[in-house]
Amino acid sequence: MNILLLGYGKMGKIIGEIAESRGHSIAGKINIDNQDDLKQLDPKTIDVAIEFSQPEAAFGNISWALNNDIPIVVGTTGWLDQKPSIEKLALEQNGSFFYASNFSIGVNIFFKVNEFLAKLMNETSGYNPSIEEIHHTAKKDAPSGTAITLAEGVLRNLKSKNSWNLAGETKGSDSSLEITSKRIDPAPGTHIIRYKSDIDDIEISHTAHSRQGFALGAVMVAEWIPTKKGVLSMDDFLSF
């Protein structure tokens, strides 16, 4: 496949290496300083675009791909307020749009464990849940996209919480699930769900040791998406 990389930073570079090692070619490596290179490309020659840029750039890049009939796989976080407009565009264009806050298979298993645990916690009282995420200091958004997905998983399953708040930014009520964001180098991504009580604590965590798992997952989805249409997610890609 001929793959266009929209965003060629820490993630774009690893994705490019993995894609080439799996026999794909790279149609272009677009960054903030060479966006005009897009005009030189013939969209018909591009099989799929992979977008890992930054929050302010995602909407423009995704719209460009959908308007040029290019299936797009998006990992950029911190732009979710604009996602409904992109989903509408994808459906209008009969395009292929895939977003995941986290492409690592391990994290997607962790998402399921999180939901199962939240459901179990309805059976008892006295535990207060919270989420902590730890990332490198260059990360632009907080909380992480993964922490938001985890929070949504808790809210869907635990009756005592109906919203989430970012610690230090907004004060939450008793029914709000607090997320704490820490920025410590070189953390590629750690997420912890804690249920604390006076008697004991229950904790589950996922720790990424590198960015390899995120990048491999994105390439695997890019290999899968060209025959698919619509608004897609890891639930469509994974069989569990």
Ligand X SMILES: O=C(O)C1=N[C@H](C(=O)O)C[C@H](O)C1
Ligand Y SMILES: NC(=O)C1=CN([C@@H]2O[C@H](COP(=O)(O)OP(=O)(O)OC[C@H]3O[C@@H](n4cnc5c(N)ncnc54)[C@H](O)[C@@H]3O)[C@@H](O)[C@H]2O)C=CC1
Per the annotation, the verdict on 191 as an active-site residue is: no
DSSP class of 213: H
- x-marked contacts with ligand Y along 131-170 as a string, rule CB under 6 A: -------x--------------------------------
**What's the CA gap between 145 and 100, in Å, rounded?**
9
Catalytic residue among 119, 139, 196, 228: 139
DSSP class of 69: T
Check residue 111 for interaction with ligand Y (CB under 6 A): no
Report what 52 binds from ligand Y, ligand X, none; CB cut-off 5-8 Å by kind.
ligand Y
**What's the CA gap between 189 and 103, in Å, rounded?**
12
In sequence order, the 6+-apart residues with CB closer than 8 A to the CB of 161 are 129, 154, 155, 175, 176, 177
Among 97, 110, 111, 214, binds ligand Y (CB under 6 A): 214
Nearer to ligand X, 97 or 103 (CB): 103
Per the annotation, the verdict on 135 as an active-site residue is: yes
Handedness of CA 151, 138, 13, 21 (dihedral sign): negative
Among 1, 2, 10, 22, binds ligand Y (CB under 6 A): 10
226: tokens are: 């060209």
Nearer to ligand X, 71 or 145 (CB): 145
Q: Which amino acid is at 67?
A: N
Among 16, 71, 78, 129, binds ligand Y (CB under 6 A): 78
Check residue 184 for interaction with ligand Y (CB under 6 A): no
List Cα–Cα distances, 230 to 52, 99, 185, 224, in angstroms.
20, 11, 37, 13
SS3 content of the chain, % helix, strand, coil (to 5): 40, 25, 35
Q: How far is the CB of 47 from ligand X (least distance, A)?
A: 25
User: How many residues interact with ligand Y (rule CB under 6 A)?
Assistant: 26
**What's the CA gap between 129 and 118, in Å, rounded?**
9
Give contact residues for ligand X (rule: CB under 6 A).
Answer: 77, 101-102, 135, 139, 144-146, 189, 214
21: tokens are: 């090692």
Please give the positions annotated as active site.
135, 139
Residues that bind ligand Y (CB under 6 A): 6-12, 30-32, 35, 52-54, 57, 61, 75-78, 100-103, 138, 214
